[in-house]
Amino acid sequence: MNFNLKDLIEFYDSELGKISVISIQEKLHKFLDTKLKQNVLGFGYILPYLRKKDIASKINFLSIPSTNNKIKYYRNELNASLEVDETSLPFNDLEFDKVFVSHWLEVSDRLDLVISELWRVLKGQGKIIFILPNSFSLWSNIENNPFGKCRPFSKSQIKKLLNLHGFEEIKVEFCLYFPPYNYKLLVKKS
């Protein structure tokens, strides 16, 4: 299973994509907002969420699995990017305080290996955040967005998967409480 880069770019450039990013960034800000200097890994397709500079400044490394080598990140004063094998990350054990994963876990064919590898590079008291489609949401059932074109997870499925790989204190939060429709069209019709 794999995602289509063109679809991701088009979605995040659309009005619906921009509204989604704002909603997700609010949750991310709580996760990434810290005064401490921390090592943070961004894994998968996270570029849309980095448009806000205060979030981008907290990500030290951006990595995209090599099966999607058409995605090119950039190097700037804030971060560096790498193309990686999803099951063999080029980082030391226990290297990151936080790991942020978007648009990858739900499309990986090697789910157990990916989770194990993310576990390996995360520090003992580290935190990981996944942006995943909820199998009970409207978003995962309508294919006009990336969350409707991949494997969704229920709250119990993601908790079970992460528990099997040693993660504890799993907290699931929901986002995108609005339906995945083009709001410009709705406003024009009203």
For the segment 79-117, what is each residue's pLDDT rounded down to a tens digit?
567 778 888 898 999 999 999 999 988 988 899 999 999
Q: What is the 3-state secondary structure (H, E, C) of 80-130?
A: EEEEEECCECCCCCCCEEEEEEECCCCCCCCHHHHHHHHHHHEEEEEEEEE
**How confident is the model at residue 189, as a pLDDT?**
47
Rounded to the nearest 10 degrees, the angle between the axes of helix 5-13 and helix 15-32 is 90
> Could you tell me the fold of the domain covering 5-189?
Rossmann fold (3.40.50)
pLDDT digits (tens, 9 = 90+) for 151-190: 999 999 999 999 999 999 899 999 998 999 876 655 454 4
pLDDT tens across 110-154, in order? 999 999 999 999 999 999 999 999 999 999 999 999 999 899 999
